[in-house]
Amino acid sequence: MADQPHSAELFGEQRDFWWNRDFLDLMAVRWRLSEAASLADIGCGLGHWSRLLYPYLRPPARFAGVDREPRWVAEAPEKFRRAFPHVAPELISFHQGDAIKLPLADDSFDVVTCQTVLMHLAQPLDALREMLRILRPGGLLICVEPNNFWNYLAFTSLTESEPVEIWVRRFEFWLRQHRGRLAAGRGNHSLGDLLPGYFAQLGMRDIAVYQNDRPAPLFPPYANPDQKALVEQDRQWKSSATGPWNKEDMRELFMRGGGDESFFETVFADIVKKYHSEQQAIAAGHFHAAFGNINYLVSARKP
């Protein structure tokens, strides 16, 4: 993955199934998006999130996407054009830039947003201050960020009755990597838990916290489009000896989080085995789990 731009592995078809449309309809009302006529998406990637939000704005609405990766800045405009062929091209712009030094003017947007971006940054508060800078007074900041630690704790048809010791070991395995990632300045994949407090610290008003209502369940025959996309995504790694994981990277994070080598080897072998067992159980049609995830939507107005 080293030669790939940031998040390339995350932009598969599965990302199109993150949200329930009726939930977004509700959020658009709660956020009063129809009163807004400009939107900036920071760390926009290919615009999966902003293409969902943009239609709720009051037309003709202005849009700006910012990403630090030249490839996404080059590819996202075509996705926007295809999604909104009747929108005047001069209303839509994409910019290469860093979240902590945005190439956009002060007080220039009604809504500023990001989805799963702050979690990757060493200095999320600096990025939030920049997002506030470009937001007009009274404008709305919307950040969607997860607690990804929860993803490791779901019970599945294969793991629900495993011994307590195995669960506890896996918990330590992921927690040490989480701590190692923080220590290495590579972000906080569970940053969502802390966001409301950061908003309060920055003096924002009308802070509101919601959760995405869409889990990612798998149950036979895995026939819904969202389940097919999930199964397909997982299948990519089926023949890899280490499943979807980069062992050396994980080892480095784990050790940095205070772990020891032999513990790492034991648990890494266990999670790879678990992954391959899941693949076999899916192929045999008897794997299932509701796979809830914690994805917060935290919003507030600039005073």
Residues that bind ligand SAM (CB under 6 A): 6-7, 10, 15, 43-45, 48-49, 67-69, 72, 98-99, 115-117, 120-121
State the DSSP code for 184: T
To ligand SAM, the closest distance from the beta carbon of 48 in angstroms equals 3
Q: What are the start-end ranges of the E strands in the chain?
A: 38-42, 62-67, 92-96, 109-115, 135-147, 205-211, 294-301
To ligand SAM, the closest distance from the beta carbon of 191 in angstroms equals 12
Pick between residue 49 and residue 254 the one whose CB is nearest to ligand SAM: 49
Pick between residue 124 and residue 259 the one whose CB is nearest to ligand SAM: 124
To ligand SAM, the closest distance from the beta carbon of 209 in angstroms equals 19
In a 3-state reduction of DSSP, which class is residue 90?
helix
To ligand SAM, the closest distance from the beta carbon of 73 in angstroms equals 9
Pick between residue 57 and residue 121 the one whose CB is nearest to ligand SAM: 121
Pick between residue 38 and residue 212 the one whose CB is nearest to ligand SAM: 212
Tokens 């916290």 correspond to what residue?
209
To ligand SAM, the closest distance from the beta carbon of 122 in angstroms equals 9
What's the distance, Cα to Cα, between the start and end of the chain in Å?
Answer: 42
Pick between residue 7 and residue 279 the one whose CB is nearest to ligand SAM: 7
Give the β-pairing of 109-115 and 135-147. parallel
